[in-house]
Chain A
Amino acid sequence: MTYDVGGNERRAIDSMPQTCSKEVCYACVRQKRLTSAGNLHFRRMSQIDNAKVAFAFLRPACVLLTREQSIQNVQQLNAQLREVSDLALQQLQEYVLFPLRFVLKTPGSKRENLIQAVVEGIEYVLSNTCVHSWDLLQELFSELCLCLSSPGKPGKPASVSEDLKAAVIQSLDALLHAAYGDIALQLYKPVMLPGLGAAISLLLALAEEEKSRKVQAAALKCLLILLLQCDCKEPHLWVGQEESCALATAFACFLPGITQVLTRVITGDMKQGHAVTVKAIKVWYRTVGLVMADEQLSNADSSEASAADLGKVGELLVKRTQTWVKETSEKVAILLKRITSCVSVHQHWKVRLEMVNLSENLLSTCQKSLKQCISNLLEVLVGKLNDENSAVRDKCSAALEAIALRNQTGDNHTFNDILSENLHSLATSLPRLMRISDDQHKLFILNVFLGYLKVLGPKVAMVLNSAAHLQRISKALMQVLELDITDVRIVEERSSSSLEHTGLGPHELYTQKKHFVYFTDANIFSSLQQICRFLGYYGNLYLLVDHFMDLYRESSVYRKQCALVLNEIISGAAGVGLVAKHKYGPVSKDDLKAAVMSIIEEYTSLNNWHLPTNSVESDRDEDSHFSHLRILSITNSVQENHNQLLPAKKSSTVHQMNSNIWQICIQLEGIGCFAVALGVDFRLLLMTTLYPVLEKAGDETLLISHSALCSLWDICRACGYSSLKELINMNSDYLLNDISLNLQRLSLHPHAPRVLAVMFYHSDASLLPLVGDVVQDVLTALDLSYDERAPVFCAVLHSLVKALVRWFPAKLGEKKYSAPAGARCEDPLDVRQFLLDYHKLRCQAEGLLEDEGDTGDIEKPSTVPDSDEDLEDPDKKPELPSHITMAKDVLERCIHLLSDPSLRLRLKVLDVLELCVCVLQSHEDVLLPLVHRCWPALLQRLTNDDPLAVLWAIKVLCTLGETCGDFLRKRVSQEVLPRLTGSLLKQAPLSAKAGPIYAHTLAFKLQLAVLEGLGTLCLRLDLADSDLDLVSEACLPYLSCRQPARLQEACLSVFRHLIKVDPDAVWFMLNELYCPRSYEPPHSDLHAVRLAGMGRPKNEYTDNILRLLAEIH
């Protein structure tokens, strides 16, 4: 045995069987690798290359092992084997294997680890060499199988250790990999069927029953190799058509066993680890794919005729006839269904990926033979189309595309028919499935649904043309999307004020989470959204919108769901939020706009927009509004059903109202969606939609106002406005249009004033020219219905005047300090002002002196600019700026409203009054007559009203004092102060004696209000000496420590204010009551200072007086 390397190679190539020279057989490839490795010195340098040397090296160990079968000897041999290079080992293959096989063959029981060592040895040899001889292959195969099977029952696995099993399977693996191409194929000859069958059933049993995952996986892998479809990296035998036919014929016998056992494995324990499941699936579909392959079955008859002369073995052989195929495919379909139902929602993505492979493989190879399975397989693919794992998704969509392509080129109808059929049946069972299955399964089902839509693509439109399909799908969506509206909080949560909320930014808002009856997972909802969007994207928009609008009108039960679906359909039609595979020409803008307009019209129609959402809302206007609605719904529509009349009832249940709230919310969201869908084109629709949305933004129900705000922001973004302010400002003309029209139909549209208020809040002075006539409308409407609508209109007027104050900041500087109080100059900041004022006063004084001579001259120049107007109409006064006129008109109304019976309204009116005064302060000639007119009413508020109103009125009076000054001072000192101080003096002894409960009485609150207001009043009105005396006298009793603490505090605040006006007088007065120190005259000639309070003992006033005196110094 003295071959050189080159010779060896030649020999090896020469010895190859004929088939191998034609085909690439995996053993040949390994052979080549062996030789090339020798040439290129890739082998380890320490290994023995020379076969002769190797023989000499290995021989002792082999001999020893034959003589004495001990584990040491085996291990010795195994170790030595590793010293020999692959080439040398190839030549010594049979020699080396002999002692190892001898150990296995020797009868009698052996220790397991001995066998294991032997098997490992065999495995090493096999994995590094090729098996050329059929006999060797066959013998080894059966010997190894024998190792696995239990001695008593062949076909059952022996109860040996896991390691041994693993080792045996490993070496089987190695053996099959090492086998030369054509001898490997001999394994599948009919004669070999029993042996092969035994091996397969052993492996299956291992795969099914073994506890160790490693063994399970190895057994499954081994099965794959038996199928000649191993997926490991080793080069493998390429199987031609003829060979694969033989292979398939062999495996046809085992198909039932393999598929059943593996199905059990696959559907077995979910915890068995994904690797086993993946392998089992692979073996399953490879087997089925091999045996049921369409191309084999078509020429099956010819190839299997020769099976007759095989004797007993021939009976085992299965003939793949038409009937066999039919029966088998039925069984396979059952198994497949079990597999898919179990594994489709498997947690591990690799399993799902393998399922995709399964579907793809079977759909491509066995479409004809496995007709019954096609829909199931498609369902698997479609269901994975929206898998969370991208690898699965990609694989899936690629597979589907390939299938779609293949089917479109061939008989394409069946494919689409199956898809639409599946869609139909899925839609039918959807509601049921949504009720009974768990969230994960629901999600899967919906993904399947979505997948069908995606695969059908533009053909969805065709499917939807069938009324049956559309009906099914819409019914399913309606039932699935049923909202859970039992939450009581929905009705109860109130928003405090519309205006505050509209100031929120977009980030502070969140979309309301909807609660559905049949599911809780948010993913399920988003999946449903996607479904609707794809319907809109691919379907016929008009058909869909018409259909769902009909449904919307038809019954109030489905109305919310319909709205939800419509919203998504429009989004989808515009391609918003879609990841569509096909680039599909979206619906034309005009069509979209038309659809949106019709939907919005329906949404915002009276019956669907002004739903009762609040039972407590017993305002008269609401009442009359609903009664009006009721009449409307009776007279207007004959087909109006019972349900729609129900909301008009006052006693609607919480349930009903929740439902209404949600409906409005969904509709609002819809408008937002439409805006996003239309983009800038939505601007044109603002003239009809902005008003209703704003109306809802001011709604009292939190949920609604939030939704409205969200959709306002959507509109903002869609139309390219940067803020709500800009949105409202730029479209104020549209809003005003609706407002002014609706103000004339207040019974129908009671919220117009509210919208106007929102507008004022957001707009600026540029609005004024537009708003003028609307304000007139408001005032007219107010005049016409004082009693009913005063609260609403007052709110509007309040916001108007507030806006006016903001838009026209008054030039306070000139007037405010025109009559500076002497005490104020103590403030360092005011020194400059003091000097300026002083200068001004002097100038005035001088000017006055000059004026006395000729007053006429001065006035003439001022009229020059207006000469144009004056010439035309000399009697007319110069036209007032519009904001002044407005404020004047508002103030006039306030005079009447000041004595309204409702306290809330009175307070509001006082606020309005104060703001009006602020606006008007620059126009004294307008202001003063008005103040004169409202004085009596205001006086009532000051002296004869609820404490709260008194406080408010004092606040107003302070503002008035600042703006009107002298005009008011006399009235205050004559009419207001005596009454206030009188009541204070009268109450003082009572409160001094009262207990803690007194703090809850009206009298106490009144005292407190007056005390809290008096100080500022004195300061702001610049009251003079006698008035100050009056005030301080009235307040003195309250310095007593016997008074309630809060009154004392309030009283202290009065004195603090008085100190600012006239510190000396206050000092004197306090000292008269109690003087803490004595004043020594600096010189004896001077009179000693005598103060009444001097030397008095501590009394009830001491504490407070000391505090005040400390502040004066």
Chain B
Amino acid sequence: MARPPPTPLFVLRGSGAPINTLHFSCQEPSSALLFSGSGKGAIHVWNLHTRRAERVLEGHGGSSIVWVNTIGSKETLISQARDKRLCTWNLSEGRSDVTQSIFTGSVGFCQGSVMEMHPQRWLLAYPAEDMEELVELPSGVPVCSLKPDAKLGMLMCVKLWQPDGGCGPMLLAGYEDGSLALWDVAQRQILSRLTTHPEPLLCLDFDPVGLRGVSGSAERAVSSWVLDGQQNLQLRDTVELVNPGISQLRLRMDRRILASAGWDHRIRLFSWKKLKPLAVLQYHTDTALCVTFSDHKDSRLGLMAAGSKDQRISIWSVYNDS
């Protein structure tokens, strides 16, 4: 008999606004944190031990936070909001200062993407008005802008990744017309394009080891695609869902579990290998907006967090026993 679906380990309340984005920082298990960005412009720093908000950062004048991430340690935070700004924060020793503020010009919902290129040097991709901008952090030196020639519509999601074998960083971008593009950052050109969905592409995640990715949109399916040896994107299979609309797709660090946040309030879990549906987690009472896995070094401690429009963050412990 299949086990009943689990309930959340615990629920974080009190953000007072829809949770748009979540990010774990659990490198040191003793001081595990979860960052959440709310629809009212507040970034909550949750202590996962006390299960309470340690601090609340307000730096975007109340406009909806689109994306939060940390670089290096949990002391440097990047936040992107719909006030067309992207800020880096210094949170060390109890500070909460904005160290950098980049004007993005984008009011869309596209989240940025960050990748460590060299030790202590990161590459950040963020959406600008009608193109992708790349900058190096922490220096803030612009690297390049990637402007698609064809009219693909608004940029919806991006993912930076570093292929093996010495090539430069690659960027996967999803567009409003439902197409997916693979950019070579060094050459500033699209290597391959694939239309995966008839609707705007809302989210994607990519496995740089297996060279496989998934994307979701407003329709009732999750598409998976691969990158072949010639750097061509090829559509693989699609997984049909009961209800339409996927807000976010996230692959766990061990590349075994894929989680989706659905408009039907549910979090779905799939095995990454075959995209077999594993579980439907039902807790939220409104659209699930984001889902993310923790970066615990010890995978048994691993957590999953989901944020929803119902202003709650649910923390789950799923498939950790094996």
Task: List chain A positions with a Cβ less than 8 A from chain B.
Answer: 683-684, 687, 733-734, 736-737, 740-741, 744-745, 769-770, 773, 776-777, 780
Tell me the bound Cα distance from A684 to B52 in angstroms: 11
In the complex the two chains form, is A773's CB within 8 Å of B51's CB? no
* Cross-chain contact A687 with B13 (CB below 8 angstroms): no
- Residue in A683, A740, A776, A780 whose beta carbon sits within 8 Å of that of B11 in the complex: A740
Q: Does the CB pair A687–B51 fall under 8 Å?
A: yes
Contact B310 A773 (CB under 8 A): yes
Can you report 23 residue pairs joining A to B where beta carbons are below 8 Å apart?
A684-B50, A687-B10, A687-B50, A687-B51, A733-B13, A733-B14, A733-B52, A734-B51, A736-B13, A737-B10, A737-B13, A737-B51, A740-B11, A741-B10, A741-B11, A745-B7, A769-B13, A769-B14, A770-B14, A773-B310, A773-B311, A773-B312, A777-B285
A635 to chain B: closest residue by CB: B1
When distances are taken between beta carbons in the complex, the residues of chain B under 8 Å from A745 are 7
A77 vs B8: C-alpha distance in the bound complex, in angstroms? 108
Minimum CB–CB distance for A49 against chain B, Å = 92
Given contacts A687-B51, A733-B52, A776-B285, contact A769 B16 (CB under 8 A): yes
Tell me how far the C-beta of B33 lies from the nearest C-beta in chain A, rounded to whole angstroms: 16
Q: Which of B10, B49, B52, B283 has the most CB of A within 10 A?
A: B10
Q: Given the complex of chains A and B, what is the CA–CA distance between A733 and B51 in angstroms?
A: 9
Chain A residues in 8 Å Cβ range of B52: 733
B251 shortest CB reach to chain A, Å: 27
**New A-B pairs, 10, CB < 8 Å, besides A733-B52, A770-B14:** A684-B49, A687-B10, A687-B50, A687-B51, A741-B8, A741-B11, A744-B283, A745-B7, A773-B13, A773-B311
Closest to A683 in B: B50
CB neighbours (8 Å) of B13 from chain A are: 733, 736-737, 769-770, 773
Which residues 266-306 of B have a CB within 8 angstroms of A?
A: 283, 285
The minimal Cβ–Cβ distance linking B147 to chain A, given in whole angstroms, is: 32
Question: B8 — nearest CB in chain A belongs to which residue?
Answer: A741
Least CB distance from A681 to B in Å reads: 12
B310: chain A residues within 8 A (beta carbon): 773
When C-beta atoms are compared, the residue in chain B nearest to A730 turns out to be B52
* Residues from chain B with Cβ under 8 Å of A684 in the complex: 49-50
Bound Cα distance from A734 to B310, whole angstroms = 18
B267 to chain A, nearest CB (A): 15
* Chain A residues closer than 8 Å to B7, beta-carbon distance: 741, 744-745
Contact with A along B23-54 (1 / 0, CB 8 A): 00000000000000000000000000111100
| Distance A193 CA – B171 CA, assembled complex (angstroms) | 116
Q: A684-B50, A741-B7, A741-B8 are in contact. Are A773 and B14 (CB under 8 A)?
A: no
Q: Which residues of A contact B311 (CB under 8 A)?
A: 773
Alpha-carbon separation in the docked complex, A737 to B312 (Å): 11
Residue of A nearest to B10 (CB): A737
Instruction: State the Cβ distance, B3 to closest chain A Cβ, in Å.
Output: 11
SS class, residues of chain B in contact with chain A: loop
Inter-chain CA distance A687–B51, complex, in Å, is: 8
- By a CB distance below 8 angstroms, the chain A residues around B312 are 773
Once the chains are docked, how many angstroms separate the CA of A478 from the CA of B283?
A: 45
Q: How close is B151's CB to chain A, nearest CB, in angstroms?
A: 29
Q: How far is the CB of B304 from chain A (nearest CB, A)?
A: 16
B-chain residues with CB within 8 Å of residue A744 when the two chains form the complex: 7, 283
- Whole-angstrom distance between the alpha carbons of A815 and B227 in the complex? 71
Across the interface, name the chain B residue whose C-beta is closest to A734: B51
Which residues of chain B are near A769, meaning CB under 8 Å?
A: 13-14, 16
Closest to A774 in B: B13
Closest 7 CB pairs of A and B: A770-B13, A737-B10, A737-B11, A741-B7, A769-B16, A770-B14, A687-B51
- In the complex the two chains form, is A773's CB within 8 Å of B285's CB? yes
* Most chain B CB inside 10 Å of its own CB: which residue of A683, A684, A773, A780: A773
Smallest CB–CB gap between A737 and chain B, Å? 5
In whole angstroms, how far apart are the Cα atoms of A760 and B16 in the complex?
Answer: 19
For residue A772, which residue of chain B has the nearest CB?
Answer: B311
A736–B13 Cα distance when bound, in Å, is 9
Most chain-B Cβ atoms within 10 A of its Cβ — which of A741, A745, A770?
A: A741
* Whole-angstrom CA separation of A101 from B271 in the bound complex: 119
In the complex the two chains form, what is the Cα distance from A1072 to B310 in whole Å? Answer: 68
Closest chain-A Cβ to B49's Cβ sits at a distance in Å of 7
Task: For the complex, give the distance between the alpha carbons of A737 and B8 in Å.
Answer: 10
- List the B residue with the shortest CB-CB distance to A777: B285
Please name all residues of chain A whose beta carbon is closer than 8 Å to the beta carbon of B16 when the two chains form the complex: 769
A777 to B310, CA, bound (A): 12
B53 to chain A, nearest CB (A): 9
CB-CB under 8 A from A777, the residues of chain B are 285
CB-CB under 8 A from A734, the residues of chain B are 51
Name the residue among B13, B14, B50, B283 with the largest chain A CB count within 10 angstroms. B13
Q: A773 to B285, alpha carbons, bound, how many Å? A: 9
**Which single residue of chain B is at the shortest CB-CB distance from A770?**
B13
Distance (whole angstroms) from the CB of B171 to the closest CB of chain A: 34
- In the complex, A769 Cα to B17 Cα: how many Å? 10
On chain A, the residues within 8 Å of B10 by CB distance are 687, 737, 741
Nearest A residue to B49 via CB reads A684
Give Cα A769–Cα B13 distance, bound, in whole angstroms: 9
Question: How far apart are the CA atoms of A459 and B133 in the complex, in Å?
Answer: 70
Complex Cα gap A684–B48 (Å): 11
Nearest chain B CB to A148's CB is how many angstroms away? Answer: 85
B49 contacts across to A, CB distance below 8 A? 684
Q: How long is the Cα–Cα vector from A740 to B52 in the complex, in angstroms?
A: 16
Q: Once the chains are docked, how many angstroms separate the CA of A733 from the CA of B50?
A: 10
By a CB distance below 8 angstroms, the chain B residues around A770 are 13-14
**How close is A470's CB to chain B, nearest CB, in angstroms?**
32
CA of A741 to CA of B312, assembled, Å: 12
User: For the complex, what is the distance from the CA of A745 to the CA of B312, rounded to whole Å?
Assistant: 19
Rounded to whole Å, the gap between the CB of B273 and the closest CB of chain A is 31
Residues of A contacting B51 with CB < 8 Å? Answer: 687, 733-734, 737
Nearest-neighbor residue (CB-CB) of B50 within chain A = A684
CB distance from B47 to the nearest CB of A (A): 10
Chain A CB within 10 Å, residue with most, of B16, B50, B283, B310: B50
Residues from chain B with Cβ under 8 Å of A780 in the complex: 285
Min C-beta distance of B287 to chain A, whole Å: 14
Measured between alpha carbons, how far is A596 from B29 in the docked complex, in Å?
A: 21
In the bound complex, what is the Cα–Cα distance between A769 and B8 (angstroms)? 20
Residue of B nearest to A738 (CB): B10
Q: Which residues of B contact A773 (CB under 8 A)?
A: 13, 285, 310-312
Residues of A within 8 A of B285 (CB): 773, 776-777, 780
Q: Write the chain B residue with the least CB distance to A686.
A: B50
A1093 to B50, CA, bound (A): 80
Task: State in angstroms the CA–CA spacing of A745 and B8 once bound together.
Answer: 12
Shortest distance from the beta carbon of A746 to any chain B beta carbon, whole Å: 13
Chain A residues with CB under 8 A of B50: 683-684, 687
Shortest C-beta distance, A815 to chain B (Å), equals 31
Contacts of A687 in B (CB 8 A): 10, 50-51
Query: Cα distance A126–B16 when bound, in Å?
Result: 102
